[in-house]
Amino acid sequence: MRATAIHAPFDIRVEDVPDAAIRQPGDAVVRVVRACICGSDLWAYRGEAAREPGQRIGHEFLGVVEETGSEVSGLTAGDLVVAPFMWSDGVCEYCADGLTTSCVHGGFWGSVGSDGGQGEAVRVPFADATLVKLPAEALSDDRLLSALLALSDVMGTGHHAAIGAGVGPGTTVAVVGDGAVGLCGVLAAKRLGAERIIALGRHTARTDIARTFGATDVVAERGEAAVAAVRELTRGQGAHAVIEAVGTEQSMRTAVGITRDGGAIGYVGVPHGSGTGLDLGEMFNRNIALRGGVAPVRSYIPELLPDILSGAIDPSPVFDHAVDLEGVPGGYKAMDERTALKVIVKL
Protein backbone atom coordinates (compact mmCIF):
# COMPACT_ATOMS: atom_id res chain seq x y z
CA MET A 1 0.00 0.00 0.00
CA ARG A 2 0.98 3.67 -0.20
CA ALA A 3 1.74 5.63 2.95
CA THR A 4 3.63 8.68 4.13
CA ALA A 5 7.03 8.33 5.78
CA ILE A 6 9.53 10.84 7.05
CA HIS A 7 13.13 10.17 6.11
CA ALA A 8 14.79 13.31 7.41
CA PRO A 9 13.80 16.87 8.21
CA PHE A 10 11.87 18.30 5.26
CA ASP A 11 12.03 14.91 3.53
CA ILE A 12 8.46 13.59 3.56
CA ARG A 13 7.69 10.87 1.02
CA VAL A 14 4.64 8.91 -0.03
CA GLU A 15 5.94 5.46 -0.80
CA ASP A 16 5.16 1.76 -1.02
CA VAL A 17 5.03 0.06 2.37
CA PRO A 18 3.83 -3.36 3.55
CA ASP A 19 0.05 -3.62 3.64
CA ALA A 20 -1.61 -2.98 6.98
CA ALA A 21 -2.59 -6.38 8.39
CA ILE A 22 -4.13 -7.99 11.46
CA ARG A 23 -1.44 -9.09 13.93
CA GLN A 24 -3.36 -9.48 17.16
CA PRO A 25 -6.87 -10.84 17.64
CA GLY A 26 -8.03 -7.42 18.90
CA ASP A 27 -6.78 -5.60 15.79
CA ALA A 28 -8.76 -4.10 12.96
CA VAL A 29 -7.52 -2.82 9.64
CA VAL A 30 -9.07 0.48 8.64
CA ARG A 31 -8.97 1.79 5.08
CA VAL A 32 -8.39 5.51 5.44
CA VAL A 33 -10.94 7.88 3.91
CA ARG A 34 -9.76 11.13 5.47
CA ALA A 35 -6.53 12.01 7.24
CA CYS A 36 -4.85 15.29 7.99
CA ILE A 37 -1.61 16.99 8.93
CA CYS A 38 -1.16 18.25 12.48
CA GLY A 39 0.82 21.23 13.73
CA SER A 40 2.76 18.75 15.84
CA ASP A 41 3.72 16.78 12.70
CA LEU A 42 5.61 19.90 11.65
CA TRP A 43 8.01 19.43 14.53
CA ALA A 44 9.21 16.20 13.05
CA TYR A 45 9.17 17.86 9.63
CA ARG A 46 11.37 20.67 10.90
CA GLY A 47 13.69 18.32 12.75
CA GLU A 48 12.64 19.63 16.16
CA ALA A 49 11.31 16.21 17.15
CA ALA A 50 13.47 13.18 16.40
CA ARG A 51 12.21 10.43 14.08
CA GLU A 52 13.79 7.25 12.77
CA PRO A 53 14.51 7.56 9.04
CA GLY A 54 11.52 6.07 7.22
CA GLN A 55 9.23 6.26 10.24
CA ARG A 56 5.55 6.58 9.34
CA ILE A 57 3.65 9.71 10.16
CA GLY A 58 0.14 11.07 10.70
CA HIS A 59 -2.06 10.43 13.73
CA GLU A 60 -5.50 11.65 12.66
CA PHE A 61 -7.78 9.60 10.45
CA LEU A 62 -11.20 8.18 9.82
CA GLY A 63 -12.09 5.40 7.49
CA VAL A 64 -13.87 2.15 6.82
CA VAL A 65 -13.17 -1.08 8.67
CA GLU A 66 -11.75 -3.55 6.20
CA GLU A 67 -10.97 -6.53 8.39
CA THR A 68 -11.22 -7.43 12.07
CA GLY A 69 -9.31 -9.81 14.32
CA SER A 70 -11.01 -12.78 15.92
CA GLU A 71 -11.63 -11.02 19.24
CA VAL A 72 -13.15 -7.85 17.84
CA SER A 73 -16.82 -7.88 18.69
CA GLY A 74 -18.12 -4.36 18.25
CA LEU A 75 -17.04 -3.66 14.71
CA THR A 76 -17.54 -5.31 11.35
CA ALA A 77 -16.12 -4.76 7.91
CA GLY A 78 -17.78 -1.76 6.28
CA ASP A 79 -18.24 0.27 9.47
CA LEU A 80 -17.26 3.92 9.19
CA VAL A 81 -15.05 4.76 12.19
CA VAL A 82 -12.94 7.58 13.58
CA ALA A 83 -9.68 6.97 15.44
CA PRO A 84 -8.35 9.13 18.27
CA PHE A 85 -4.67 10.04 17.95
CA MET A 86 -3.64 7.24 20.31
CA TRP A 87 -4.85 3.73 20.68
CA SER A 88 -5.86 2.45 24.12
CA ASP A 89 -7.00 -0.86 25.59
CA GLY A 90 -10.15 0.48 27.23
CA VAL A 91 -9.77 -1.70 30.30
CA CYS A 92 -6.79 -0.52 32.32
CA GLU A 93 -7.20 1.72 35.36
CA TYR A 94 -6.32 4.85 33.42
CA CYS A 95 -8.78 4.04 30.66
CA ALA A 96 -11.41 3.41 33.34
CA ASP A 97 -10.68 6.93 34.60
CA GLY A 98 -11.05 8.29 31.08
CA LEU A 99 -7.34 9.05 30.84
CA THR A 100 -6.86 6.98 27.71
CA THR A 101 -3.60 8.77 26.90
CA SER A 102 -2.01 7.09 29.92
CA CYS A 103 -3.28 3.63 28.92
CA VAL A 104 -0.73 1.04 29.95
CA HIS A 105 -1.00 -0.55 26.49
CA GLY A 106 -1.51 2.69 24.58
CA GLY A 107 0.54 4.07 21.72
CA PHE A 108 0.75 6.61 18.96
CA TRP A 109 0.07 6.11 15.28
CA GLY A 110 3.32 6.52 13.43
CA SER A 111 5.49 5.34 16.30
CA VAL A 112 8.20 2.91 15.23
CA GLY A 113 6.61 -0.31 13.93
CA SER A 114 3.12 1.19 13.62
CA ASP A 115 1.15 2.48 10.69
CA GLY A 116 0.57 6.22 10.44
CA GLY A 117 -2.66 7.95 9.62
CA GLN A 118 -1.37 9.49 6.38
CA GLY A 119 -1.59 6.29 4.39
CA GLU A 120 -4.04 4.04 2.64
CA ALA A 121 -4.73 1.85 5.65
CA VAL A 122 -3.89 1.46 9.33
CA ARG A 123 -3.64 -1.51 11.66
CA VAL A 124 -5.57 -0.50 14.78
CA PRO A 125 -4.73 -2.27 18.07
CA PHE A 126 -7.52 -2.73 20.63
CA ALA A 127 -9.97 -1.82 17.89
CA ASP A 128 -13.09 -2.20 20.01
CA ALA A 129 -11.77 0.27 22.57
CA THR A 130 -9.96 2.61 20.23
CA LEU A 131 -12.33 3.19 17.35
CA VAL A 132 -15.69 4.92 17.46
CA LYS A 133 -18.40 4.07 14.95
CA LEU A 134 -19.86 6.86 12.83
CA PRO A 135 -23.12 6.85 10.84
CA ALA A 136 -22.51 5.41 7.39
CA GLU A 137 -24.39 8.32 5.77
CA ALA A 138 -21.51 10.61 6.67
CA LEU A 139 -19.46 8.95 3.91
CA SER A 140 -21.38 10.91 1.29
CA ASP A 141 -21.13 14.25 3.11
CA ASP A 142 -17.76 15.86 2.49
CA ARG A 143 -18.23 18.68 5.00
CA LEU A 144 -19.43 16.31 7.72
CA LEU A 145 -16.46 14.00 7.12
CA SER A 146 -14.15 16.96 7.73
CA ALA A 147 -15.98 17.88 10.91
CA LEU A 148 -15.85 14.29 12.16
CA LEU A 149 -12.15 14.01 11.35
CA ALA A 150 -11.55 16.80 13.86
CA LEU A 151 -12.65 14.36 16.58
CA SER A 152 -9.43 12.44 16.09
CA ASP A 153 -7.43 15.30 17.62
CA VAL A 154 -8.05 19.02 17.35
CA MET A 155 -11.67 19.19 18.50
CA GLY A 156 -11.06 16.92 21.48
CA THR A 157 -7.83 18.72 22.26
CA GLY A 158 -9.54 22.11 22.21
CA HIS A 159 -12.22 20.64 24.47
CA HIS A 160 -9.57 19.28 26.85
CA ALA A 161 -8.03 22.74 27.08
CA ALA A 162 -11.41 24.31 27.76
CA ILE A 163 -12.13 21.76 30.51
CA GLY A 164 -8.68 22.30 32.01
CA ALA A 165 -9.16 26.05 31.95
CA GLY A 166 -12.44 25.67 33.80
CA VAL A 167 -14.66 27.12 31.07
CA GLY A 168 -18.28 27.19 32.09
CA PRO A 169 -21.41 29.25 31.70
CA GLY A 170 -20.74 32.95 32.12
CA THR A 171 -16.95 32.73 32.09
CA THR A 172 -14.62 34.99 30.17
CA VAL A 173 -12.17 32.93 28.15
CA ALA A 174 -8.98 33.89 26.36
CA VAL A 175 -7.35 31.66 23.75
CA VAL A 176 -3.62 31.83 23.06
CA GLY A 177 -2.88 30.31 19.66
CA ASP A 178 -4.74 30.68 16.38
CA GLY A 179 -3.92 27.26 14.97
CA ALA A 180 -6.52 24.54 14.52
CA VAL A 181 -6.38 23.57 18.21
CA GLY A 182 -6.78 27.14 19.41
CA LEU A 183 -9.72 27.61 17.07
CA CYS A 184 -11.31 24.39 18.29
CA GLY A 185 -10.69 25.73 21.81
CA VAL A 186 -12.84 28.71 20.89
CA LEU A 187 -15.54 26.38 19.59
CA ALA A 188 -15.33 24.23 22.72
CA ALA A 189 -15.50 27.27 25.00
CA LYS A 190 -18.58 28.53 23.18
CA ARG A 191 -20.16 25.09 23.47
CA LEU A 192 -19.47 25.04 27.22
CA GLY A 193 -21.28 28.33 27.72
CA ALA A 194 -18.51 30.92 27.82
CA GLU A 195 -19.95 34.42 27.85
CA ARG A 196 -16.99 36.14 26.30
CA ILE A 197 -14.21 34.63 24.23
CA ILE A 198 -11.09 36.63 23.43
CA ALA A 199 -9.02 35.10 20.63
CA LEU A 200 -5.37 36.12 20.37
CA GLY A 201 -4.12 36.06 16.81
CA ARG A 202 -2.90 38.26 14.00
CA HIS A 203 -3.86 36.26 10.90
CA THR A 204 -7.18 37.61 9.71
CA ALA A 205 -8.15 34.40 7.94
CA ARG A 206 -7.77 32.57 11.26
CA THR A 207 -9.34 35.16 13.52
CA ASP A 208 -12.28 35.29 11.10
CA ILE A 209 -12.78 31.58 11.76
CA ALA A 210 -12.43 32.30 15.48
CA ARG A 211 -15.28 34.81 15.22
CA THR A 212 -17.38 32.25 13.37
CA PHE A 213 -16.63 29.78 16.16
CA GLY A 214 -17.78 32.20 18.85
CA ALA A 215 -14.95 34.63 19.62
CA THR A 216 -16.38 37.95 20.79
CA ASP A 217 -13.06 39.82 20.70
CA VAL A 218 -9.80 39.49 18.82
CA VAL A 219 -6.44 40.69 20.14
CA ALA A 220 -3.72 41.00 17.51
CA GLU A 221 -0.94 42.07 19.86
CA ARG A 222 1.71 39.73 21.22
CA GLY A 223 3.66 39.41 24.45
CA GLU A 224 3.30 42.25 26.96
CA ALA A 225 1.09 44.19 24.57
CA ALA A 226 -1.29 41.23 24.35
CA VAL A 227 -1.43 41.02 28.14
CA ALA A 228 -2.25 44.72 28.31
CA ALA A 229 -4.91 44.40 25.62
CA VAL A 230 -6.67 41.48 27.32
CA ARG A 231 -6.56 43.26 30.67
CA GLU A 232 -8.02 46.35 29.01
CA LEU A 233 -10.92 44.21 27.79
CA THR A 234 -11.50 42.68 31.22
CA ARG A 235 -11.46 45.69 33.54
CA GLY A 236 -7.85 44.99 34.39
CA GLN A 237 -8.57 41.49 35.69
CA GLY A 238 -7.81 39.05 32.92
CA ALA A 239 -9.82 36.00 31.84
CA HIS A 240 -11.23 33.35 34.17
CA ALA A 241 -10.16 30.63 31.79
CA VAL A 242 -7.20 30.69 29.43
CA ILE A 243 -6.60 28.14 26.70
CA GLU A 244 -2.90 27.76 25.83
CA ALA A 245 -2.55 26.06 22.45
CA VAL A 246 0.99 26.91 21.39
CA GLY A 247 3.50 25.46 23.85
CA THR A 248 6.30 28.00 23.76
CA GLU A 249 7.77 29.89 26.69
CA GLN A 250 6.37 33.13 25.36
CA SER A 251 2.86 31.78 24.91
CA MET A 252 2.90 30.37 28.44
CA ARG A 253 4.11 33.70 29.80
CA THR A 254 1.29 35.42 27.96
CA ALA A 255 -1.19 32.87 29.30
CA VAL A 256 -0.16 33.53 32.90
CA GLY A 257 -0.31 37.28 32.33
CA ILE A 258 -3.87 37.23 31.01
CA THR A 259 -5.36 34.87 33.58
CA ARG A 260 -7.55 36.40 36.26
CA ASP A 261 -6.56 35.77 39.88
CA GLY A 262 -8.02 32.41 40.86
CA GLY A 263 -8.38 31.37 37.23
CA ALA A 264 -6.85 28.50 35.32
CA ILE A 265 -4.79 27.85 32.23
CA GLY A 266 -5.80 24.81 30.19
CA TYR A 267 -2.65 23.94 28.30
CA VAL A 268 -2.54 21.65 25.31
CA GLY A 269 0.31 23.14 23.34
CA VAL A 270 3.05 20.49 23.50
CA PRO A 271 5.75 22.19 25.61
CA HIS A 272 8.94 22.97 23.74
CA GLY A 273 11.90 25.13 24.55
CA SER A 274 14.28 24.79 27.44
CA GLY A 275 12.24 26.70 30.02
CA THR A 276 8.63 26.53 31.11
CA GLY A 277 7.81 30.23 30.71
CA LEU A 278 6.02 29.92 34.05
CA ASP A 279 6.50 32.55 36.74
CA LEU A 280 5.58 30.35 39.67
CA GLY A 281 5.77 33.27 42.09
CA GLU A 282 3.13 35.17 40.13
CA MET A 283 0.98 32.06 39.78
CA PHE A 284 1.27 31.50 43.53
CA ASN A 285 0.37 35.05 44.50
CA ARG A 286 -2.59 35.06 42.14
CA ASN A 287 -3.73 31.46 42.62
CA ILE A 288 -3.49 30.57 38.94
CA ALA A 289 -3.93 26.90 38.16
CA LEU A 290 -2.38 24.95 35.32
CA ARG A 291 -4.25 21.92 34.01
CA GLY A 292 -4.00 20.05 30.78
CA GLY A 293 -1.63 17.97 28.77
CA VAL A 294 -2.03 15.42 26.05
CA ALA A 295 -5.76 15.21 25.47
CA PRO A 296 -7.58 11.92 26.06
CA VAL A 297 -9.68 12.60 22.99
CA ARG A 298 -11.03 9.04 22.86
CA SER A 299 -12.96 9.78 26.04
CA TYR A 300 -14.43 12.97 24.64
CA ILE A 301 -15.75 11.54 21.37
CA PRO A 302 -19.01 10.18 22.83
CA GLU A 303 -19.78 13.65 24.20
CA LEU A 304 -18.74 15.68 21.15
CA LEU A 305 -19.95 13.39 18.36
CA PRO A 306 -23.69 14.05 18.79
CA ASP A 307 -23.09 17.81 18.63
CA ILE A 308 -21.16 17.43 15.39
CA LEU A 309 -23.82 15.17 13.89
CA SER A 310 -26.55 17.62 14.89
CA GLY A 311 -24.59 20.56 13.53
CA ALA A 312 -24.45 22.24 16.95
CA ILE A 313 -20.71 22.52 16.43
CA ASP A 314 -18.85 22.38 13.15
CA PRO A 315 -15.06 22.37 13.33
CA SER A 316 -14.68 21.67 9.58
CA PRO A 317 -13.56 25.25 8.73
CA VAL A 318 -10.16 24.53 10.33
CA PHE A 319 -9.38 22.50 7.20
CA ASP A 320 -8.60 25.12 4.60
CA HIS A 321 -6.51 23.11 2.17
CA ALA A 322 -7.11 19.65 0.68
CA VAL A 323 -4.68 17.24 -0.97
CA ASP A 324 -4.80 13.63 -2.09
CA LEU A 325 -2.38 11.10 -0.62
CA GLU A 326 0.33 11.80 -3.18
CA GLY A 327 -0.04 15.50 -2.34
CA VAL A 328 0.89 15.06 1.33
CA PRO A 329 4.48 16.37 0.97
CA GLY A 330 3.08 19.54 -0.58
CA GLY A 331 0.65 19.75 2.31
CA TYR A 332 3.52 19.77 4.80
CA LYS A 333 5.20 22.51 2.83
CA ALA A 334 2.02 24.60 2.82
CA MET A 335 1.57 24.23 6.57
CA ASP A 336 5.23 24.88 7.27
CA GLU A 337 5.05 28.08 5.23
CA ARG A 338 1.76 28.93 6.91
CA THR A 339 -0.08 29.23 3.62
CA ALA A 340 -2.40 26.52 4.94
CA LEU A 341 -3.99 26.42 8.41
CA LYS A 342 -4.64 22.68 8.42
CA VAL A 343 -4.40 20.30 5.50
CA ILE A 344 -6.92 17.52 4.98
CA VAL A 345 -5.96 14.43 3.01
CA LYS A 346 -8.77 12.91 0.94
CA LEU A 347 -8.25 9.33 -0.19
The site string for a copy of itself over 138-177 (x = CB under 8 A, - otherwise) reads: --------------------------x-------------
Instruction: Give the shortest CB-279-to-a copy of itself separation in angstroms.
Output: 8
Q: Of 292, 315, 317, 331, which lies in the binding site for a copy of itself, with binding defined by CB under 8 A?
A: 292
Task: Check residue 237 for interaction with a copy of itself (CB under 8 A).
Answer: yes
Beta-carbon count within 10 A of 281 CB? 8
Task: Check residue 281 for interaction with a copy of itself (CB under 8 A).
Answer: yes
CA distances from 316 to 212, 292, 311, 335 (A): 12, 24, 11, 17
Interacting residues of 175 by C-beta distance below 8 A, sequence separation 6+: 182, 185, 186, 189, 197, 198, 199, 200, 210, 215, 242, 243, 245
Nearer to a copy of itself by Cβ, of 74 and 275: the residue is 275
Instruction: Give the shortest CB-284-to-a copy of itself separation in angstroms.
Output: 4
Task: Check residue 280 for interaction with a copy of itself (CB under 8 A).
Answer: yes
CA distances from 201 to 58, 290, 317 (A): 26, 22, 16
Task: Check residue 290 for interaction with a copy of itself (CB under 8 A).
Answer: yes
Nearer to a copy of itself by Cβ, of 95 and 155: the residue is 95
Among 281, 279, 285, 220, which residue's Cα sits nearest to residue 255?
279
Instruction: Give the shortest CB-257-to-a copy of itself separation in angstroms.
Output: 15
* Residues near a copy of itself (CB under 8 A), total: 31
Q: How far is CA 133 from the centre of its chain?
A: 19
Query: Which residue stretch of 114-122, 203-211, 272-280, 319-327 sits at the interface with a copy of itself (rule: CB under 8 A)?
Result: 272-280
Q: Of 1, 220, 228, 278, which lies in the binding site for a copy of itself, with binding defined by CB under 8 A?
A: 278
Nearer to a copy of itself by Cβ, of 263 and 317: the residue is 263
Task: Check residue 43 for interaction with a copy of itself (CB under 8 A).
Answer: no
CA dist 222 and 72 (Å) reads 50
CA dist 51 and 114 (Å) reads 13
DSSP 119: B
CA dist 332 and 35 (Å) reads 13
Instruction: Give the shortest CB-102-to-a copy of itself separation in angstroms.
Output: 4
What three-state secondary structure class fits 23? Answer: coil
Nearer to a copy of itself by Cβ, of 107 and 327: the residue is 107
Interacting residues of 280 by C-beta distance below 8 A, sequence separation 6+: none
Instruction: Tell me the residue type at 169.
Output: P
The site string for a copy of itself over 78-107 (x = CB under 8 A, - otherwise) reads: ---------------xx--x-x-xx-----
What three-state secondary structure class fits 11? Answer: strand
| Binding interface with a copy of itself (CB under 8 A) | 93-94, 97, 99, 101-102, 164, 237, 261-262, 264, 267, 270-271, 276, 278, 280-281, 283-294, 296
